[in-house]
Amino acid sequence: MEAKTNSKTKVAVIGLGYWGPNLLRNFLLISNVNVIYGCDIIKKNLNKLSREYPSVKFTTNFDDVLSDESIDLVAIATPLSTHFDLAKKALNANKHVLLEKPMVSNSKEAKFLIALAKKKNKILMVGYTFIYSEPIKKIKQIIKSNQLGRIYYFDSNRINLGLIQKDINVIWDLACHDFSILNYLFNQKPTYVQTFGSKFINNKHVEIAHIIIRYKKDITAHINVSWLSPVKIRSILIGGSKKMISYDDISPNEKIKMYEKSIKLSKSKITPFSPAYRSGDVIIPYMPQTEPLKNELEHLVNCVKNNKRPITDGEMGLEIIKLLEATDKSLKLKSEVKI
């Protein structure tokens, strides 16, 4: 694959319902990108955007995109059940592909697309936007510098009222974000997962779930996801032997707080174990105010132009699919599952 350092990357966005318009808007903000097509089978979605972005060609026919040899990159933000077929066609038409999370419906499809992208010498990237957010990148730096010490736990709450999905459960919709963050922060493969779920609105998919993930280095992750919460919460707590971090994605200015707090047990003459608590300063790191999705798409375009491997490539997408499949198995068996 030749690097196109001097020419603009020509892009088509497929699926313009919920997330697609955000892709379209951010691609148009990147100077070395030329958005050629917006595609959706629902004409109402196209009519609204065509007035807002008159320079873009809007079509209901995906074949228009596939047959246009000038298109370098196809970004797919359609329902999950359509991802595999659309990505397969795009790769076979020699396009780079961005697939929105959670990539595809199963690991067999993921492996097929990874192999096809390699055969075609094209980039296959998955849209895990949180990986490209400044707070998560900052937390990665803090962990890598050993400021937290030995990591004890990762606790996440990702809850809100809706949007209830038709083709996936709440874990595939929301928890996959936390799975991607865990993968990025700790670069470890999980060993066991146990999932507890409940469904109240329909009998097909769980709408509330609690997930426990265990790793080799004694790190335990607890993830709570829900479509049935009256409030929206996006928070993560990471505890270490030296310091602890809280991350509140809803907070406009103070998304990360690092606490100089810790606890350890020491032998005492009075009691067998005496807890020693240490409480110090709360540090709020400075972070640039950038849109994570724009960061993600700029990274993708740079990878396309310079033939680089994306952070959230197909292989990472496959690891998350395997973990999602393990949560499904755990729900079915009502027990812990080895990964």
298: region left, alpha or beta (phi > 0 left; psi from -120 to 50 alpha) = alpha
The pair phi, psi for residue 35, each rounded to 5°, is -80, 115
CATH class in words for 9-122:
alpha beta
Report the share of the chain in percent with pLDDT over 70: 93
Mean pLDDT, the chain, whole residue set = 93
Check residue 281 and give its pLDDT: 79
Report pLDDT digits (tens) over 207-265.
Answer: 999 999 999 878 999 999 999 999 999 999 999 999 999 999 999 889 999 998 766 66
Query: For the domain bounded by 131-292+322-338, which CATH number is listed?
Result: 3.30.360.10
pTM of the model: 0.92
Top-confidence residue, 285 or 115: 115
Question: Could you give the residue range(s) of every CATH 3.30.360.10 domain in the chain?
Answer: 131-292+322-338
CA-to-CA distance for 338 and 189, rounded, in angstroms? 11
Question: Could you give the residue range(s) of every CATH 3.40.50.720 domain in the chain?
Answer: 9-122
Instruction: Give the pairing type, strands 73-76 and 9-14.
Output: parallel
Check residue 276 and give its pLDDT: 57
Residues 6+ apart with CB under 8 A from 195: 171, 209, 210, 211, 212, 327, 330, 331
CB of 154 within 8 A of CB of 227? no
